[in-house]
Amino acid sequence: MVIENKIKISYREALKQGIREVLRNDDRVFLMGEDVGHYGGAFAVSKGLLQEFGEGRIMDVPLSESGFVGAGIGAAIAGMKPVVEIMTVNFSLLAMDQIVNNAATLSHMSGGQINVPVVIRMGCGIGRQLAAQHSHSWESFYAHIPGLIVLSAGTHEDARYLLPAAMKSPDPVIIFEYTSMLNMENEVLNNPAGVDISKAKIRREGKDISIITYGTGVYKSMEAAEELASMGIDAEVIDLRVLRPLDEATFLASVSKTHRALIVEDAWRSVSISSEISARISEKVFYELDAPVKRLCGIEVPIPYPAHLEDSSIPQKKDIVNEVQKILNP
């Protein structure tokens, strides 16, 4: 349904439109991944693309994460523009050697002779009762690696536009897509210019506190901010969007304005994206702070199957609302 320049679509449809756009724009682009073709994508994201683009452009691959991710890297070096889909982030550990030792490393190790313009997409996240081995949040693993560009699609806009922007990168890009959001509908602004993958995005402006988040934390924080607004608290919500290299200028400026920071993520607390953000705030704008930096993170437990335990293992909207109130009214 088109309303002026906005379209209301599901997160899944937004992803598919992004993939279709990059396939149409450049003959060198092809999508490879487990079940992307005949099955239509494990999450139906690529449904219909095989029929539209053919087997040469939509390649089903065997369950060989290291093999096909490495092949994507090789194809990128040799002049193609592969979009490699790892069905879920959980399986990406099997391809970690290729991503870390090859994709991220070849440019520097070869003295700049080789660049690797591969894009690797992964479904990820918690919230579908898939239990411990299918609910990982590995953003911090990849954000740790120099040489990678790491993006997180926390909104429908980014689900639609991160991929076309990533395809312009000469260097390897990892895109995290959140499977718990696939059926969620939202309006996406038609934006032929695309999005800027070097910048974080201020999703809501506010003056009282900076809520810094990414991924599934974005909509939860936006909803919390609306509830806080009804209590007279004006929260700014920052979607990091790019987890490496971090756009620290945006969140440091925000914290310098609001003087308070809450960092929200589903991932485990220790050695996480939030630890890094907190450290940078302390290092660079400590004297701007009116309150200690706080973090809401995942509880450090393998994600359990029952819904009530799973929900309790990650920050929810009410937790964000409560925490902000505590920071503002200590």
Partner 1 sequence: MEQTAIKIKTESGLHFLYQMKLIRRFEEKAAEQYTKARIRGFLHLYIGEEAVAVGVIQALSPDDVILSTYREHGHALARGISPSAIMAEMYGKREGCSMGRGGSMHLFDRSKNFYGGNAIVSGHLPMSVGMALAYKKQQKNQISCCFFGEGAAAEGEFHESLNLAALWNVPVLFVCENNLYAMGTAIRYTHSMQELEKKGIAYGIESKAVDGMDLLAVLDAANEATELIRKTGKPYLLVCNTFRFRAHSMFDAELYREKTEVEEWKKRDPIPAFEKYLSDQRLITENDIKVLEARIESEVQQAVDYAEAGTLEPIEELTHFVYSDPSK
Stretch that binds partner 1, among 99-107, 205-213, 228-236, 248-256 (CB under 8 A): 99-107
CB of 310 to partner 1, least distance (A): 32
Q: Which is nearer to partner 1, 144 or 317 (CB)?
A: 144
Decide if 259 is catalytic. no
Annotated catalytic residue: which of 85, 134, 265, 276? 134
CB of 104 to partner 1, least distance (A): 9
Phi first, then psi: what are they for 176, rounded to 5°? -95, 125
Residue type for 296, please?
L
- 226 DSSP 8-state letter: H
Q: Does 67 bind partner 1 (CB under 8 A)?
A: yes
164 neighbors 193 (Cβ within 8 angstroms): no
Residue type for 295, please?
R
Binding residue for partner 1, selected from 10, 17, 107, 186, defined by CB under 8 A: 107
Where do runs of H (alpha helix) occur along 106-260?
A: 106-109, 139-143, 156-166, 217-230, 248-258
Q: Does 76 bind partner 1 (CB under 8 A)?
A: yes
Question: How many angstroms separate the CA atoms of 189 and 29, rounded?
Answer: 25
21 neighbors 192 (Cβ within 8 angstroms): no
CB of 277 to partner 1, least distance (A): 18
Q: What is 237-301 written as a DSSP string?
A: EEE--EEETT-HHHHHHHHHHHS-EEEEEEEESTTSHHHHHHHHHHHHHGGG-SS--EEEEE-SS
Q: Does 127 bind partner 1 (CB under 8 A)?
A: no
Comparing CA positions, the residue from 302, 7, 259, 270 lying closest to residue 134 is: 302
Residues 138-157 that bind partner 1 (CB under 8 A): 146-147, 149
Q: Does 56 bind partner 1 (CB under 8 A)?
A: yes
Q: Does 232 bind partner 1 (CB under 8 A)?
A: no
Q: Does 68 bind partner 1 (CB under 8 A)?
A: yes
- Tell me the two tokens of residue 187: 């309006």
CB of 195 to partner 1, least distance (A): 17
Q: What is 156-169 written as a DSSP string?
A: HHHHHHHHHHHTT-
Binding mask 156-195 for partner 1 (x = CB under 8 A): --------------xx------------------------
Binding residue for partner 1, selected from 10, 17, 115, 275, defined by CB under 8 A: 115
Q: What's the length of the chain?
A: 330
CB of 149 to partner 1, least distance (A): 8
User: Residue 70: which residues within 8 A CB-CB, separation 6 or more?
Assistant: 95, 98, 102
Decide if 308 is catalytic. no
Q: Which is nearer to partner 1, 113 or 329 (CB)?
A: 113
CB of 118 to partner 1, least distance (A): 9
Binding site for partner 1 (CB under 8 A): 30, 56, 61-62, 64, 66-80, 82, 97-98, 101-102, 106-115, 146-147, 149, 170-171, 245
Q: What are the catalytic residues?
A: 65, 134
